[in-house]
Amino acid sequence: MSDSPMKKKSYEDHAGRPRVVVTGMGVISPVGKSVPEFWESLIQGRHGIRKINKDIYPGVRVNTAAEVKDFDPTEYLDRKEARRTDRYCQFAVAAAREAIVMSGIDFSTMDPFDTGVIIGSGVGGLGTLQDQFEELLVRGGPDRISPLFIPMMISNIAAGKISMIYGIKGANYCVTTACASGTHAIGEAFHKIKLGYLKAAVAGGAEAPVTRIALAGFANMKALNMTEDPDLSSLPFDARRGGFVIAEGAGILVLETMENAVERGATILAEIAGYGATADAYHITSPDPEGKGAGTAMKLAMREGNVSPEEIDYINAHGTGTPLNDKYETLAIKFAMGDETAAKASISSTKSVTGHLLGAAGGVEAVATIMAMKDGIIPPTVGLNEPDPECDLDYTPLVAKKKEISVALSNSLGFGGQNGTLLFRKAGYEK
């Protein structure tokens, strides 16, 4: 029996294109290896930043990181496959499994070319790369390099691995836009579905950058906070902030057309209604000092979602804790929304709890944004005791607060000037 015209219309957005919904989420993070654990840590303000073991990372000047503890890849892959898979890919597979189980989607019942996987990663298999360089230069030369080195290291292998496990044969690729990678991956999957190329997709970001070479590289470019106190390491929007804390993990969503989700009786967690992607064209690491690049990404997401700035209830900020990012993101939010409207929005940086997961950040923060809408709770910006006068918006300091959230934005800004914004609407929200 065909759907009535009225029901068909409800499956389409204001432009007559398919509405796209989230039906599953998965997280591996320094504060939880499942969505419930992760969300509880966020709303309780329990950060996952610890002192690093200098025996494992000798000679590096940085003192803290946010690592995933007690992660056993053999819970998600057989032992042989786990040995052949980089840590970042293991995180992606684990988070994807949680998302797919939560969704209840059965890809085997769908045309495999109607389904896709798009996973972002800023650096891919950096641990494998470091290990194999040591084999090359320290332990024996070219003959010691593993024949699996390349497939373990490349950034697209997480998307490939997930597709092989679940038989997904449609669009399959990796987005690499530094710290915007996860957001761009979700946004690209959203557009693939909205434009009719896919009916469902697994999308998000994965990263395992806590390595000696990355700690040294980010420290030497003065991007990391150098304090020895984990409680003072990640301080977004605080006057004392001095850099970000490098972190690892993965955040993955299952996206599908609303029609597909309704027909199979899935629980709809949220709707993705807009996506904006821009470039600052300004500097390799510093955001646009006028905020117009990131601000325009927000405007584009709102325009596609057919919402006004006044309708935005919550913004999950990029909020890295670097001196320039937080100041310029504040300006970007004001540029996108207007000063008065921006002052009324609730904003927070969940990086104050998780640290900065680089290319996985957008995926993990998408989950946080959806959970905030679902439960009506704004997660706090932990450690925000001394607000920077130049960061003068409502950044939800120290403790979570209850608030009905119908429309929310999630921002990501990447080295190279790439900006991404996702716009989410609460499940059941209708204009």
Which residues belong to the active site? 179, 318, 356
Joined tokens for residue 384: 């925000």
How many CA atoms lie within 13 Å of 79's alpha carbon, on the beta-carbon side? 0
Q: How far from each other are the two terminal CA atoms of the chain, in whole angstroms?
A: 28
**Which secondary-structure segment (H or E) carries 103?**
helix 87-103
- Exposed/middle/buried for 8, CB within 10 Å: 0-12, 13-18, 19+? exposed
Q: Report the b/e string of 45-73 with b at 16+ CB within 10 A.
A: bebbbbebeeeebeebebbbbbbbeebeb
Round to whole Å and give the CA distance between 403 and 406.
Answer: 10
Length of the chain: 431
- Residue of 19, 118, 18 lying closest to 362 (CA atoms): 118
Q: DSSP string of 165-232?
A: HHT--SSEEEE-BTBTHHHHHHHHHHHHHHTTS-SEEEEEEEE---SHHHHHHHHHTT-B---S-GGG
Cα angle: 38, vertex 40, 43; to 5 degrees? 110
Inter-CA distances, 317 with 50, 87, 295, 393, 408, Å: 23, 27, 12, 11, 11
Inter-CA distances, 394 with 80, 117, 384, Å: 49, 36, 11
Round to whole Å and give the CA distance between 64 and 72.
Answer: 22
**Which secondary-structure segment (H or E) carries 426?**
strand 418-426
